[in-house]
Structure 1
Amino acid sequence: MGTSTTTTPAGRTAVAAAPAALPGPYLFWLAGTQAGLLGDAALHLALGWAAAAHGGGAAGLVLTAITLPRTALVLLGGAVADRFGARRVMLAGDAVMLAVTLALAAVSGGRGTPLWLLLSAAAVIGTVDAFYLPASGSMPRRLVGPGQLPRALALRQAGGQVAALLGAPLGGVLVAVGGLPGVALADAASFGVLLLVLLRVRVAEPEGLQPAGSGEAERGPARPGLLREAAAGVRLALRDPLLRAALLLTGVAAGALLPVVSLLAPLLARAHGWGAWSAGLLAGGQGAGVLAVAGLVSWRGALRRAGVGAAAGLCAASAGIAVLAWAADPVTATAGGVLAGAGSGLFACHLGPLVLGGAPATHLSRIQAVLTLVQSAALVLSTGLLGLLADAAGARWPTSLCALVTGAAGLAAWASTVLRRA
């Protein structure tokens, strides 16, 4: 399984070794991270369910209370992680969330789920995410070597996809059994696991990065303010040709790919009269496609030219979205969803290492913050516009537009010299 054999012209057999195993500390951290993702997915579902009891407007307000601080503070969060160290920021974030989830369980168990409690919890989650996500996104670069980065990121993506697929059903079961207090306690347990994992994992900061508190940082010249350091991360992303191209491509892909499953697939299913089960089938097919490609890349490794792999992924995703848009039955539509998921997985598995590997060691978390901001902004803008277009012309045409934009982005990536040679 782990090796392959080839025969040379001289008749001798050469053995090709399998890729080296990923470092133990990274796998240990990743296992803890997946536990946290499962707990978070369950809690998000429970918060949405509890908020829905107060009406649709209240549910939307709770979701906004998560996304707004996350988007507004993420650049500052990246600067904080680069200055003080990603591990320190993650330890602080997990400690805060452990306390918050325990408090949420206690208060909701005694007083129910008033709207002020849900909004307060959502605001804290969004704020912690703004600092935690850039730090967590930089960890693979801090724990694995450059040659193993594509496989490490692919394995992380596969784990995240599994957590997304299992988190919502798990949350539903926990809500049915223990309500919001039970889900909050389960999420608190996941944060406890993460704290223990991070206390065991030692992160060797990349060369050139001295977190605040080290002797070198204290004896060095005065550092600029955090807002200036956050702005420096944005300037670097705009100035570096590879990072600029990769982030632009990420924004286009986020705006055209992500709304297909979350927004357009359910609208298509309703328009065809297929029922809610078909919408779930489409989402499952897309997730299966992502998981299959991410698992393959984590096992065998990525293509040598990451830019070519990202372009090919977008072109494959474009074809899958087109099939989904014009499918006449749920089976064909699901096949399109699988192809779209496989393409998006191929894109992410190759572009992610380009962004993380192309960032200077001193700006790892800040570049991850810019990446998060680009994805979030593109998704917010495109989701609203695609929803309006679906109301005016039906779901098929905005889905076809997503296929067209994704294919054009893939061709543009193929034509880009800086991406093709990456």
Structure 2
Amino acid sequence: MTATMIRRDPMVVTWLVAVAVSGFGDVVWTVALAWTAAHALSPTVAGLVLGIEMLPQAALVLVGGVIADRWDPRRVLVAGEVTRAAVLVAGALAWKGGYDGAPTLFLVSLSFGIAAGLTIPSGMALVRQVVHPDDFGTVVGWNQVSGRVMRLLGAPAGGVLVAQSYAGSVAGGGPVLAMLVDAATFAVVAVVLVAVVRTRYPAPRAEHARWRDSFTDGLAYLRRSPTARVFVVGLTALNVFVTPVVALGLALRVEGSGWGAHWFGICDGALAAGAIVGSLAAIRWQPTRAAGSGFRVLVLQGVGLAAVGVPALPVVLAGMLTVGVTAGMASVWLSGAFLKAINPEYTGRVSSVTSLGDMTLMPLSVPVLGAFSGATSVLTATATFGLAMSVLCLVLATRPEIAGLVQRYASPKV
């Protein structure tokens, strides 16, 4: 199935549109939550409210991987969407009823973290069961493009909603309207999953008598499958280098050079625009050696990361654009190759390991870059992270487990 045929597949298109709508609602709520926490709570309590969601996610995502491989991922996702919609409606009612403080926001965030941890792996497992393997990259690519576009649209919409709520021009006050908007988008996804989405390519279910046996079997699969192991190590390690540079490294460079906060936003926008362009390009041109091509593209991303620390605005802009384009391309190719390479029976459990790596390693790597920048310089820190990224991706691209995927998992151009 080509990209054109994907656009003519009503089930897949409806599903992608619903996910995009939900992404818009998520951004609206995230902005409203951040503003409300900063506006109504002390800095310490606001930090707890905004950060608590990650704890249950990290604690439960491996359990979510077992759930995805034991149960029908579509039903798991429906339960997750309905739960989050109900939590938001309850939160809105509580806020309207006078419980307009930290406990309500804390409970909503905590509930979201629990639901996300238990359902994130099912999203990857569902793609595996709904889409033909040759179309993994295309569907993942469109999902990423729509997600990035929705973030660009949802952020200002969330800001407007919460600002008008506090100004009294929107009924509800505070984050209530944003809660209801996000709840409605979760409901949309749940309805689409129930009424439209159907399994086309059933995957074997993990049928161990005990959950612990399903978990240990997933670890055993990683031990005996070098391809899966290389993917997990590679995909987990990538964001360790990227996130600190494009977040903290960029902020330190812009602030240290005295360019002004607006240039921080412009540079971040260059990253987002580049990622959209890169994903669209990767959807259009999918190489037969998708995994190797994805890691080779990321060698260039390391150069872009290093450029972020250069005290010259055009160089920083070019670096962020390079990071965005290469990230967009590589994410499409590597996601498709990952889904093809992993035994369908273990999709949920293996993807949960990569998610756990992101959740635990990224928060640790940001302060490392900050400390390194303070001890040396911003340029030295970004150059070191960029060089490490390039070397890692070059090694991964030449690994036989990655280079050999062309014979077993060839995917036609679209």
Note whether the superposition's TM-score is higher than 0.5: yes
Structure 1 residue 201 displacement after superposition: 2.5
- Counterpart of 2:290 (choices 306, 315, 326) is 306
Structure 1 residue 210 displacement after superposition: 4.5
Greater than 6 Å deviation, 4+ residue runs: none
- Call closer, same or farther: CA 1:192–1:54 in 2, change over 3 Å: same
Range with bigger deviation, 48-57 or 265-274 = 48-57
Read off the aligned partner of 1:313 and give its amino acid letter.
Answer: V
Show the 5 A alignment for 1:278-293: 278-293=263-278
Deviations 1:284-308 (A, max 9, x none): 111111110111222x241110122
- Call closer, same or farther: CA 1:349–1:51 in 2, change over 3 Å: same
Q: Equivalents in 1 of 2:154, 2:380: separation in Å?
A: 31
Count the aligned residue pairs: 394
Give TM-score, length-normalised by structure 2: 0.90
- Call closer, same or farther: CA 1:120–1:18 in 2, change over 3 Å: closer
Show the 5 A alignment for 1:138-217: 138-178=125-165, 179-204=174-199, 206-210=201-205
- Call closer, same or farther: CA 1:197–1:226 in 2, change over 3 Å: same
Read off the aligned partner of 2:146 and give its amino acid letter.
Answer: G
Q: Find the counterpart in structure 1 of residue 50 from structure 2.
A: 63
- Counterpart of 1:44 (choices 30, 37, 40) is 30
Deviations 1:20-78 (A, max 9, x none): 51132122111101111111122122222222232222122123310000001001011
Deviations 1:227-264 (A, max 9, x none): 33233223323431111111111122110012222221
Q: Find the counterpart in structure 2 of residue 274 from structure 1.
A: 259
Q: Give the share of equivalent positions with the same residue, in percent.
A: 27
Structure 1 residue 372 displacement after superposition: 0.8
Q: Equivalents in 2 of 1:154, 1:312: separation in Å?
A: 18
2:175 is paired with a residue whose SS is helix
Two-structure CA RMSD over aligned residues (Å): 1.9
Q: Find the counterpart in structure 2 of residue 232 from structure 1.
A: 217
8 Å contact kept, 1:86–1:136:
yes
Q: Equivalents in 1 of 2:177, 2:27: separation in Å?
A: 14
Structure 1 residue 112 displacement after superposition: 5.4
8 Å contact kept, 2:131–2:201:
no
8 Å contact kept, 1:150–1:301:
no
Q: Equivalents in 2 of 1:210, 1:229: separation in Å?
A: 10
Q: Find the counterpart in structure 2 of residue 321 from structure 1.
A: 305
Q: Equivalents in 1 of 2:57, 2:2: separation in Å?
A: 40
1:104 aligns with 2:99: no
- Identify unmatched segments of 5+ residues in structure 2: 166-173, 406-414
- Counterpart of 2:111 (choices 97, 118, 124) is 124
Q: Find the counterpart in structure 1 of residue 371 from structure 2.
A: 388
Q: Find the counterpart in structure 1 of residue 16 from structure 2.
A: 30
Range with bigger deviation, 65-74 or 127-136 = 127-136
- Identify unmatched segments of 5+ residues in structure 1: 1-16, 212-221
